[in-house]
Amino acid sequence: MAETTTDHDTIRRWAEGKGGKPAAVDRTHQGEDTGIIRLMFPGAQQSEHGALVEISWEEFFRQFEESGLALLYEPDSMFNKIIGRDTADRRAKGEHDAHR
C-alpha cells in the first residue's frame, strides 16, 4: 500500500535504503535552478540515467519545499512518485484520481 510523506528524513532513509539518490532532470538543471527533481535508482530500468544528473540532498529538498511537493511511495518496493502537496491532500481525502 502506497504512503505519502513530506518528511525529509523519511524520504532520504527510504531512498538510500534502496540505493536511491537525489537527481534532477538534466535538461532542466541550470546553475542555481535545480529544475525538475526525481529519485534515481542505479541499476533500475525505470531510472532514466541518461536524462538525470545527481544532485545533493540539500538541492533536492530545497526544490522539494519551494515547489510544495510530497513523495508517494511503497515502503517495500522502489515505487515512488513525486506529487504536489495539494494532490497528496486530495488523495488523503479519498480522491484517488487526483494527480500532478
User: Would you give the end-to-end CA distance of the chain in angstroms?
Assistant: 19
Closest residue by Cα to residue 34 from 7, 16, 55: 55
Domain boundaries, the chain: 3-91
Q: pLDDT value at position 39?
A: 94
Q: What confidence score (pLDDT) does residue 93 get?
A: 74
Of all helices (H) and strands (E), which one includes residue 12? helix 8-17
pLDDT in tens, 43-77: 776 665 678 889 999 999 999 999 999 999 999 99
* Average of per-residue pLDDT values in the chain: 85
Tell which residue, 5, 47, 3, has the closest CA to residue 22.
Answer: 47
Q: Is the pLDDT of residue 95 over 80?
A: no
Gap between the Cα atoms of 73 and 20, Å rounded: 13
